A = this chain, B = another copy of it.
Amino acid sequence: MKNALLLATVGLSGWLVGSYFEKRKRISFSNFQNNDIVKRYPGIPIFGSLSAATVIDDNLESKIVQVQSRTSEIMKHGFPGLDEIRSFDDFVLSYDKRNRIAHWVFEHLTAERLKVKENVDRSKCDFREDKSIHPYFRSTNEDYLGSGYDRGHLAAAGNHKLHQRHCDQTFYLSNISPQVGVGFNRHSWNRLEKYVRKLTKSYPNVYVCTGPLFLPRKEADGKKYIKYEVIGSHDVAVPTHFFKVVVLETSDRKLLLEAYVMPNEPIDDNVPLSSFQVPPDSIERHAGLLFFDRISKSNLVSVNGRKTSYV
């Protein structure tokens, strides 16, 4: 309890939660207190995140403007949820404090950003704790040790090669989930990640939202149960499945959507990726998220390769 009291967290003073329309309005945040930066940039909310360590330097203001601009790009099509948002230099995530893994991670890929840079080296990256997460809810390398699971990336390291720093940040454990290694993380999930990268050759902008799922299963007693393993002393949740929702933007601003769900288990390399496509709303319902709410439906020309009725 002592720690809980010492570590200030989600306190909000004197806010009104009024109420009214069934259809929620867009909101923006401001008024971050006790903070010079925010005074200079009204309307800009600041959450603790991993950029922390280096943001506090002489170039603080320009750095903030830079991260703001990149976050807007990545999140162009809306936030799927607003729980514990962390913005990194090249991806944005929402953290699930109860499961000790992300709710979702959002990326924006382009051919230009994926070009191999000589000086970016994945082998220089180390998995490390995300100290912006309260110690109660933060996963550690020890949690994964001996669990039998890989430390699987949600924002793939291979998607963030513009700077070493971008690649480094994908190794924060807030971006990591327990994944079956052989047959999943190292094979079919990797196959899906590569496929998504390849899409940047056909589409100028590729937006990707990736996250865990905990799907119910009917048991012998006829009832439905959600069951998943938790590992380590922090009880890090092992998802039953992972999802990836992809929005492809054409040069004339048309949008194509693809949605995948893969079980967190060994998958035969020969199963085609298209067989993992699902209706996007099935992911939304199970994840408790809403994707791409800012997408203009008149611009959405296809879902999972099938023309939409909006065309």
Number of copies: 2
Q: A112 contacts the other chain (Cβ, under 8 Å)? A: no
Asked if A4 and B290 sit within 8 Å, CB to CB, the answer is: yes
B-chain residues with CB within 8 Å of residue A31 when the two chains form the complex? 27-30, 43
List CB contacts (< 8 Å) of A16-69 with chain B.
16-35, 37, 41, 43-52, 55-56, 64, 67-68
Chain B residues, Cβ within 8 Å of A162:
none
Known A-B contacts A78-B11, A216-B235, A281-B136; A85 and B27 likewise in contact (beta carbons under 8 Å):
no
B226 and A10 form a contact (CB under 8 A) = no
From 99 to 152 in chain A, residues with beta carbon under 8 angstroms from any chain B beta carbon are: 99, 131-132, 134, 136-137
Are B288 and A1 in contact, with the CB atoms below 8 A? Answer: no
A16 CB contact (under 8 Å) in B68, B137, B216 = B68
Q: Is the CB of A20 within 8 A of B52?
A: yes
B19 engages A51 (CB within 8 Å): yes
Beta-carbon contact of B14 and A68 below 8 Å = yes
Chain B residues, CB < 8 A from A2:
297, 309
Query: Which of these, B9, B225, B290, contacts A24 with CB under 8 Å?
Result: B9
Contact A25 B34 (CB under 8 A): yes
Q: Which residues of B contact A294 (CB under 8 A)?
A: 11, 13
Q: In the complex, A111→B224 CA distance in Å?
A: 43
Question: A15 to B71, Cβ gap below 8 A?
Answer: yes
Q: Chain B nearest CB: distance from A71 CB in Å?
A: 5
- Could you tell me if B19 and A52 are in contact, using CB atoms closer than 8 angstroms? yes
**20 contacts across the A-B interface (CB closer than 8 A):** A4-B284, A8-B24, A12-B27, A12-B28, A14-B68, A16-B44, A17-B86, A18-B37, A18-B68, A19-B49, A19-B86, A19-B87, A29-B29, A82-B83, A97-B289, A98-B214, A137-B285, A137-B288, A216-B235, A227-B227
